[in-house]
Structures are given as structure tokens and as C-alpha cells.
Structure 1
Amino acid sequence: MSEMTILKAEIELYAKRNEVLREREELRQRQESNQALREVLHVQRLTFASSLAMISNVLREKHTGPFDTLTYLPKDPYVRHMELLRMKRERVQRAYDFMRERQRFMDTSTEYCDQKKFQAMNGDLCSERFEVIPLPGATSVKAIVDALEYFVYNIEICISEVLGDITIRENDDPQRSSSVAQHRLVTTIGDVVQMDTNTVAFNAYIPAGPGQNEVGFSISDAVDEDEAFPYTTRVRQDVTVITMITWQTRQDGSPVIVFARWWCLRIRHSDINVPEYAVARMQNGIEYVGAAMVTAARHAGAEL
């Protein structure tokens, strides 16, 4: 074998060794890069978890809903009605702002649900839920809003039928011709304890306009003070619900009506002895009533 042949063989050998070393170095660099990326992601997850812990603590310390004003109802019927109309204008605008921001970065064409249950610092038992439910096949926002109005205006019947807990209305029946109402209800839970619920309800439909899709709202908010129907020594339940019905666009560009809802349930702490199973019925009841409301929305949207 000539010297030239030997040199060429050695050169090829060293070249192969260099290629192996280069590949090993590239692999090492990729591994280090991946490890650094994993560390960054780990830190981000820890930061996100810490932020969630802060939010959870805020929820336990104070109410974080969109309506932060006192809901007071005077005794005089005329003044009372005018106050409800004033509340409606304020509540609808705040509800729109809140729901718009709550959905800002979301794909609302797919289902989503986030629910939290916790005991507040003052002892109240709370539940908060936000959900997005597309209604494929639905064709009318207005029909769904009308169905929700009927559902809410007959809420005592719906509660009795869905939960089996007898619920009676203490105030006069609301007028279907009005977009505002009040619901002063007493529910007997499991035949062992009575519960007070006092809410104001607002219904709104905004037709499509320049730069604005049609949108509908069904809003209920807890009453803080009522001169005509003051709270008694019963268990008190505060409920705030915002339901927003609007058109959204799927990723393929097709339109779909979306049912978006946020609610907060607060069972006020008291000295009344309530069995655990009755407490569970109170906490879970809103979920069953809420599911019945979604069913009503689906049927109404598909009827046309």
C-alpha cells in the first residue's frame, strides 16, 4: 500500500471521527438547550400556579363579581320600579364589559367550563362558574333570549320541578311585558330548612347595528337590602348570574350562536344548624337549574 493511500485512509478516518464528534457536540447543545427551555417552562408554570393561588385568595377574601354596587330596593312600588329600570341600564353595560373581557382571548366556538367552590374568609360557602357553550343548529338570538326570560320569570316553578324542593314566591308575579323583575323566593330544602333568595332580574336584547352583532342578556343579581321584603332568620342565598347570547365565528369561518354564562352563588354564614346533605343540595342546586336553562336555550334556538 502506497504512502498516499495510507494518508487518504487516515484523512477519511479523522473526517469520520470529526463528524461523530460534531454530531455528539450538536446533541449535547440540543440537550442543554432543551433543558434550559424546560427550566424556563417550569418557572413559567410555577409563576402561573402562584398567580392562581393569589386569585384564589382574593376570591376567598372579597367578592370579585362585575356588580360592586349595593342593590337596594325601596318600599314604594313606583320608586321601586324606577330603581329597577336604573339598575338595568347599569347592569347591562357592566355585564357586557365583563363578559367581553372574560372571553377576549378565548376560542368561544368550543365548549369551556371553569368552576371553583370555596369557603370565604367570613364563613360564606361560595361557588363561582364561567362556561361557554356553542349552540350549533340555533338560528335566533332573540328566540333564545325570550326563552330565558320565560325561564327566569317562572324561576320558582323551575326550581320546584328540577330540584324537587318546594319554592314559593313571596312578592307579586313579575309582568311579562316588563324587562325588569324581582324574585323574592323561599325554598324548603329537603324538608328540614328554609332558604331565602332575593334577586333582581333584567332581560335585554340588542339588535345588530353598525360594527355590532346582535346580543342578548339575561341577568340576575342578589338584593342587599329590601324595605318591602327584608331578610328573615332563614338561611340566605345570594345569586348573581350573567348569561350572554351572541353570534361568534368558528375557526372555519362559519357562524355559531354561543351561550356564555358566569355565575356566583354565596350561601351566607349563619348560626342556623343545617345538615350537611342540605348544604350540599343548596350548593349543587344551581348547577341543575343552570343545566335546565341551557336545555331551554337549545330548544328555543332550534325551533325556528
Structure 2
Amino acid sequence: METPTWKTLLPDDLTPRLPDLVASCGWEDATMIDQATGKRHVENADELSDSGERDAPREKRGKRQKQQPQRKRRTTYEIRKQQKSDLVTQVKMMQTQLDELKYRVLVEQGETAKSHERTTAANSVLQECIQGQHVGLADMQAMLASHIQDNLHTLQPAQTVIQLGTDRVERHKTLMAMKDRKLREGKRFITARSRGLDPRASYSQEERYETPGDDFCVMRFDNSPIYGSSVKAVFDAIIHSVLHSEIIISELFGSITIREDNDFDDSNVSQLRLVSSTSRGAMVESNSVMFSEFSDGTDGKECSYGIVAADFVDSDELYPYRPTERVRRDTTTVVLIRSLTELDSQTRTSNDGNCSEDQTDSNKAEDAQTVVATRWTCSKMPHTELDIPRGRLQELQESSVCWGDTMKNCIQQHLGKAAL
């Protein structure tokens, strides 16, 4: 059978155009085509060599591609199986950590429980100790209160038995002779009673009680700072209020109070005999002697101070008590006025100078105008044989309680200050 050629394969209309097609393929100068077979022949060996060199890299790349094994594609099953294995491993690690944390918490809770038990036990012991101290203090206070109540008829602090005759000269000599002692004892007592208290803070304590014999008694202790004043001004205000007490009582209580007599012109010693009529018609009398002294501290022995000591007269032959007509009121009072800077100086001296100079300088301007008034008073109303209703008797007792506050208000009005 005859082998087909390109001439037989090509249509007749393309045969004349064969040279142009060959030229368009770039074989016009470098190659030639066999007219008979239609095969391309290389004209020279150089072309063949160049063609071989160009084909060599392709062959090498093909060999390398054949040498590298193709990566096997993983299936979805294998991927999920690996993920499951990783998650199981992670769960085991987390479970181990959780077990360790549980153990640690159990240990810590055990220590906490033990610590809480120890703290509870210690607090219980401290509570018992504190309550024991309070009970001990209450026992002491009960003993003191019982002692005061049982010994109301004995001498009270700063009290002196005062008996006056009919001779006026002797009366005056008797009172002047006891003046220094009364002031000395009063100052010693009030200083001891106020020891340890903060002078810048107000303090008040009051006790009321009745004895088995129906005697009524009120004891009161006050420690009050007075701002913007001086020792001398406060001292003068107290003296003024005491000497005009009948006017003060009449104005504030709405009762009629008269002063029957004053035998002494000496400002340091005064006798006060007051008679008051309450709103319900009861009559109350008092017979007191007031001793006073002011020291400006120029002698160098101690700082400036003012002291007032008042005591009731036990027996007065010239002006005797009238128990069948009036209710008797006996009052013993001690008032000590000192400057706050001087109190701080005494505190620093007693504490071996532990107070800092900076604190003293910062408070010096304010403390220079601050005075501390310390008062202790005991007002006693003995049992009366008068037929006084219970309501009127309670009114008299309340008036004894209000008497101290009334004098404080009068002193504050005299000073023009806000508080005492």
C-alpha cells in the first residue's frame, strides 16, 4: 500500500500556499521540508546541537519530577482521627492539672480551718478576759457607790465642819482661819479627780441616789474647755454669778429667791444665805460659805489659776436653820480654772518631755485662748419632817440637779461665749 504524503493529505487548494506556511513557522532560513515526504530536515549540525542544548534542561527537569515522590493526600477520616487523639491527650493533661488543684484546695482549706479554729479560740479567750475586767471594774464601782450611799452622813470630799457662833468678829476669824486649808484641800482633790482626762474634751459624770433614811444626794463632776477667754475672766464670771445667784435663780426658775444676809465684805470669803420658794409653795433654805483665790503665777512657784471652794454651814447660832418651816439644801462645790497651755506644760513635765515641740507650736495660738474649768459638786437634801407631797419633793430634788447647769448658763452669758 502506498504511504501517504503531505501532498496527498493536503487539499488541493493549500498546496500552492505551502511555502508561505513554512515561512510563517520560522523555518524559512534554517530548515527545509522534503517536498516528497513533508518532513523537516536540519540543514547543518550546529542547529542540531543548539536544539539539543535547549532540550537538555527540559529532560533534566522531567527526570527530577519523576524522581520526587508525590505526597499522598490525607483522607477526612485520618484528619479527624488525629484531631481526636490530640483532644484526648489535652483532656488528660487538664484532668491531671484539675486533680492537683483539688488537692491544693483541700490542703489550704484544712489549714484555713485550723487557723480559723485557733483565731476563734483566741478571740474567745480575749473576750472572757475583757469581760472579766469589766466585771472587776463594775465590782469596784459598786463598792464605791455602796460606800458613798452608806456614808452619806460622813464628811464628803473637800467638806469641812463649819460651826459659827453669834459673835460676828469670831465668825469672821473662824472663816478666815480655815480659808487656806479649804482652798488647798479643794485644789488637791479636784486635781486628783481630773488626772488623766483630755483637757480639750468635755467630760461629765453624774450620780443620784437616796439613802435608807430618805436623804437625796446628787454628785456631779464636769471638765469643760472654754474657748476664747482667759483664766482671770472666767474666774471673775464665776464669782459674779455666785454673788448674784438669788437673781439668777429667780429669773431662770421662775421662783422667788432672796438673800437674807452677808456679813463679810471680803471678796475672798463670802457667806450666802438663800431662801427660795418653789412653784408649788415649798420653801428651801441654804447657808453656804464661799472661799476663792486667784493666782497670776508671778511668784514663780506655779502657773496662774483660779479656785473657788464653797461649803455649807453645819451649825449657825446667829442664823439657825428652820427645819419645821423649810427644806434644807447642803452643797459642797470646788471649781478650778486653768489655762490649757499650762496644763500641757504640766503634762510634758510629768511625761519627761515626750510631747513634741512642733505640736506645741502649732497649737500655741489656739491654746493660749483656751481655759479649762473643772468642777465637782455634791448637793444633798436631808430628810425633812415637813408634810410635803411626793410630787413637790421630786420638784425640789430636780431643782438641786438643775442648779449646777443654771450656774453654768449664767457664767456663759456673762462671758458671752457659746459654751462652757
Q: Same fold (TM over 0.5)?
A: yes
For 1:136-285, list aligned pairs within 5 A.
136-138=227-229, 140-172=230-262, 174-175=264-265, 177-208=266-297, 210=300, 212-233=302-323, 234-248=326-340, 253=360, 254=363, 255=367, 256-285=370-399
1:54 is aligned to: 143
Offset of residue 16 of structure 1: 4.2
1:119 to 210, 213, 216: 210
TM-score by length of 2: 0.65
Q: Is the 8 A contact 2:160 2:311 kept in 1?
A: no
- Tell me, in whole angstroms, the C-alpha distance in 1 between the residues paired with 2:416 and 2:248: 21
Q: Is the partner of 2:225 in helix, strand or coil? A: strand
**Worse-matched range after superposition: 211-220 or 146-155:** 211-220
Offset of residue 74 of structure 1: 2.2
2:174 to 83, 92, 99: 83
- Tell me, in whole angstroms, the C-alpha distance in 2 between the residues paired with 1:196 and 1:148: 21
Q: Is the 8 A contact 1:180 1:201 kept in 2?
A: yes
- Tell me, in whole angstroms, the C-alpha distance in 2 between the residues paired with 1:157 and 1:182: 16
Q: Is the partner of 1:147 in helix, strand or coil? A: helix
- Does residue 74 (structure 1) correspond to residue 149 (structure 2)? The answer is no
- Tell me, in whole angstroms, the C-alpha distance in 2 between the residues paired with 1:188 and 1:163: 10
Residue type matched to 2:389 in 1? Answer: P
Per-residue CA deviations over 1:109-148 (Å, capped at 9, x if unaligned) read: 111111111102332111111111211222x111111121
2:197 to 84, 102, 106: 106
- Tell me, in whole angstroms, the C-alpha distance in 2 between the residues paired with 1:123 and 1:224: 19
Query: Which structure is higher in RCO with an 8 Å CA cutoff and minimum separation 6?
Result: 1
Offset of residue 178 of structure 1: 2.5
Residue type matched to 2:221 in 1? Answer: F
Between the two proteins, the alignment pairs up a number of residues equal to 300
Using a 3 Å threshold, how does the CA distance of structure 1 residues 173 and 211 change in structure 2: closer, same or farther?
closer
Q: Is the 8 A contact 1:71 1:222 kept in 2?
A: yes
- Tell me, in whole angstroms, the C-alpha distance in 2 between the residues paired with 1:205 and 1:302: 21
Residue type matched to 1:273 in 2? Answer: D
For 1:31-42, list aligned pairs within 5 A.
31-42=120-131
- Tell me, in whole angstroms, the C-alpha distance in 1 between the residues paired with 2:402 and 2:219: 14
Gaps of 5+ in 2: 1-88, 345-354
Q: Is the 8 A contact 1:113 1:132 kept in 2?
A: yes
2:111 is aligned to: 22
Q: Is the 8 A contact 1:116 1:127 kept in 2?
A: yes
Q: Is the partner of 2:388 in helix, strand or coil? A: coil
**Which protein has the bigger helix share?**
2
Taking only aligned residues, the RMSD between alpha carbons, in angstroms, comes to 2.7
Offset of residue 302 of structure 1: 5.5
Per-residue CA deviations over 1:177-217 (Å, capped at 9, x if unaligned) read: 42101112222222522222111111211222546332112
Which entry has the higher C-alpha Rg, 1 or 2? 2
Q: Is the 8 A contact 1:113 1:130 kept in 2?
A: yes
Residue type matched to 1:226 in 2? Answer: D
- Tell me, in whole angstroms, the C-alpha distance in 2 between the residues paired with 1:56 and 1:291: 23
**Which protein has the bigger strand share?**
1
Seq. identity, % = 27
- Does residue 93 (structure 1) correspond to residue 215 (structure 2)? The answer is no
- Does residue 128 (structure 1) correspond to residue 213 (structure 2)? The answer is no
Offset of residue 34 of structure 1: 0.5
TM-score by length of 1: 0.88
- Tell me, in whole angstroms, the C-alpha distance in 2 between the residues paired with 1:151 and 1:85: 22
- Tell me, in whole angstroms, the C-alpha distance in 2 between the residues paired with 1:54 and 1:294: 31
Using a 3 Å threshold, how does the CA distance of structure 1 residues 193 and 301 change in structure 2: closer, same or farther?
closer
Offset of residue 301 of structure 1: 4.5
**Worse-matched range after superposition: 280-289 or 112-121:** 280-289
Q: Is the partner of 1:212 in helix, strand or coil? A: coil
**Worse-matched range after superposition: 143-152 or 27-36:** 143-152
2:75 is aligned to: none
Q: Is the partner of 2:116 in helix, strand or coil? A: helix
Residue type matched to 2:185 in 1? Answer: R
Q: Is the 8 A contact 1:187 1:194 kept in 2?
A: yes
